[in-house]
Amino acid sequence: MPAVRNLNIATKLLIWSCALIIVFFATTAYLFQQVRRDAEVSSHIVDVNHEVDSAIQRMLERLYSVQDNIRRYKIIGGDEAVQFIVEDLTRFGEILNATLEKHPQYTNEWLDLTIEFEITLDPGQNPNDNLAPDTTVLEWTDILEQSLLDNQADMELSLTRLHEAGQQATDVGLYGLVICLVLGVGGSLALAYFLNRSLREIRRGIRELGTGTPPRDVRVLSGDELGELALAFNAMAARLRREEKMRADFIAMLSHEIRTPLTSIREAVDLISTGTFGAVNEKQHRFLSIAEKETVRLTDLLSRLMTVSRMESETMELMPEAVDCSRLAASAVERLEPAATAKNVALKTELPDSAPTCLCDLGHVQQVLLNLIGNAIKFSPDGSSVTISLATDDTATTFCVSDNGPGIPAKEQQLVFQKYYREPEVRESVDGAGLGLAIAKRIVDGHGGRMWLESTPGHGSTFCFSLPNDTAKETT
Ligand code: ADP
């Protein structure tokens, strides 16, 4: 639906609410019209059919009475019967005239009846001779009975139509209600779904930005304001990637350029301090060893910077092999023993009796351990200890490095894994470039593993990483 995708949110909402309003008003208008029509049919039934029905019945009662009195007159004669006949016929005439006045549509149907009735009541004639002959009254009765039947049939037809119209109105009302419901609920769900889909994409992009991973483009799922937002986000991500690449290239170039003169300086210092160019006194030796330490520190920093920029510019190539995890941990401890001794920090290990074998890249995982243990030593107070532990279960092999250092505040705990991030409290006092943890995390992620930290400020930190079972298995 590209046309719908390109509409903005306000237009989509407008179309949706217009559709709802149209269906609602169309249904209401139809129902209103139907109710009016029903009211007309009902009033016709009451005003015409019912009235005519009762008038015909009253006329028929009079005619039946006339027939009875004619029969009486023929058997026993007498003025009383004639008087009753005249009374009944007069009343009949009144009802007839009133009915015809109100319902002129019966004028033609009852024409014979009206003419004959007028002849019958002609005052010039002798009522005793020709007053309402029996056959005439019977004919009138037949006409009226037929009209009564027709009127009842008409009434039944109207009632049937009324019933059908009511049924139809109920159906239309129900359909209208269902369409309104479907449009209302379905439309709002669909809108929420599409808006949410776009929002979810943007939210994912922003979250990823926060984790410090290289910014990735988000999918542009609509042409509305959220689509524009996604496009703006992608433009920003592209700019960040460009800048990051420029920074990485610059660091790589700079590191490379500094490395060569630095090596020359190191070699020169080494040559001088070993006495190649003549005897070196105690004081000179002290300064030369400081210069040597500083060049080692600078070389280390440069190699970290180059590692990071290399990891960024190319995908990490891992060469997994079966590695004895206990031995791996022990060898990292051994390498850092001199640094720990120099800081008066004891290195302790808690390794399982069985020797777990990890399927991992030895060099890279050793780098992770060296970074974590190196940090632990660096942040540990004089006379404290650092513990390196190893545990394995069905799903993973986990390495942990615990220290009794200053700990890391909760809000900083995720930030420390970002490149160049250093806690504000240690920036001035402790040496570093904020790269060790970023490199370590990248390596663990590359193995499909997980790295985390547990720390309470003032009570030390524990950095752990685990390698999943498909790259780690235990031997007995
Ligand atoms: P750095 O070279 O600065 O140590 P890292 O990436 O190794 O770089 O560490 C980043 C930041 O994390 C450090 O500057 C420090 O603030 C914090 N950090 C790392 N390890 C520890 C630790 N064991 N105890 C306390 N803070 C730590």
CATH topology assigned to domain 321-475: Heat Shock Protein 90 (3.30.565)
Weakest mean pLDDT among 25-29, 103-107, 257-261: 257-261
Residue of 380, 388, 416, 428 with the most ligand 1 atoms within 8 Å of its CB, for mutation: 416
CA–CA dist 460, 90 (Å, integer) = 122
Query: What pLDDT sits at residue 3?
Result: 54
Q: Collapsing DSSP states into helix, strand and coil, what is residue 345?
A: coil
State the amino acid at position 326 in one-letter form: S
Weakest mean pLDDT among 59-68, 298-307, 361-370: 298-307
pLDDT digits (tens, 9 = 90+) for 143-189: 999 999 999 999 899 899 889 988 988 898 899 889 889 988 998 89
- Tell me how far the alpha carbon of residue 51 is from its chain's centroid: 64
Query: What pLDDT sits at residue 334?
Result: 93
Residue 97 and residue 111 in contact, taking contact as beta carbons nearer than 8 Å: no
Average pLDDT, the chain: 85
High-pLDDT (> 90) share of the chain, %: 32
Q: How far is the CA of 295 from the centre of ligand 1 (A)?
A: 22
Q: Which two tokens stand for residue 167?
A: 């049924």
Nearest alpha carbon to residue 190 among 397, 411, 16, 340: 16
CA–CA dist 383, 343 (Å, integer) = 8
Residue 198 and residue 234 in contact, taking contact as beta carbons nearer than 8 Å: no
State the SS3 of 14-64. HHHHHHHHHHHHHHHHHHHHHHHHHHHHHHHHHHHHHHHHHHHHHHHHHHH
pLDDT digits (tens, 9 = 90+) for 416-437: 998 888 887 777 777 777 888 9
Q: How far is the CA of 210 from the centre of ligand 1 (A)?
A: 19
Q: Which residues are within 8 A (CB) of 300 and not within 5 positions of it... i.e. 6 or more apart? A: none
| DSSP alpha helix (H) spans, 212-352 | 225-273, 282-313, 325-342
DSSP 73-87: HHHH--HHHHHHHHH
Provide the 8-state DSSP code for 278.
S
- Ligand 1: residues with CB < 6 A are 371, 375-376, 379, 403, 405-406, 408, 416, 421-423, 426, 432-438, 461
- pLDDT category, 218, cuts 50, 70, 90? very high
State the amino acid at position 328 in one-letter form: L
Angle at 183 between CA 182 and CA 189, to 5 degrees: 85
At how many degrees (to 10) do helices 111-120 and 134-181 cross? 150
Integer-rounded Cα Rg, in Å, for the chain is 54
Query: What pLDDT sits at residue 475?
Result: 35
pLDDT at 455 over 90: yes
Weakest mean pLDDT among 7-16, 25-34, 310-319: 310-319
Provide the 8-state DSSP code for 459.
S
CA–CA dist 310, 312 (Å, integer) = 5
CA–CA dist 214, 225 (Å, integer) = 25
pTM of the model: 0.56
Q: How far is the CA of 358 from the centre of ligand 1 (A)?
A: 26
Query: What pLDDT sits at residue 423?
Result: 81
Phi and psi at 96, nearest 5°, equal: -60, -50
Nearest alpha carbon to residue 56 among 98, 90, 86, 87: 98
CA–CA dist 231, 93 (Å, integer) = 92
Q: How far is the CA of 422 from the centre of ligand 1 (A)?
A: 6
pLDDT digits (tens, 9 = 90+) for 383-417: 999 999 999 887 889 999 999 999 999 988 988 99
Q: Which two tokens stand for residue 146?
A: 């037929």
CA–CA dist 377, 379 (Å, integer) = 6
Q: Collapsing DSSP states into helix, strand and coil, what is residue 462?
A: strand
Q: How far is the CA of 434 from the centre of ligand 1 (A)?
A: 7
Mean pLDDT over 299-310 rounds to 80
Where do the domains of the chain lie? 3-190, 225-312, 321-475
Residue 371 and residue 439 in contact, taking contact as beta carbons nearer than 8 Å: yes
CATH topology assigned to domain 225-312: Helix Hairpins (1.10.287)
Residue 440 and residue 466 in contact, taking contact as beta carbons nearer than 8 Å: no
pLDDT at 60 over 50: yes
- pLDDT category, 5, cuts 50, 70, 90? low
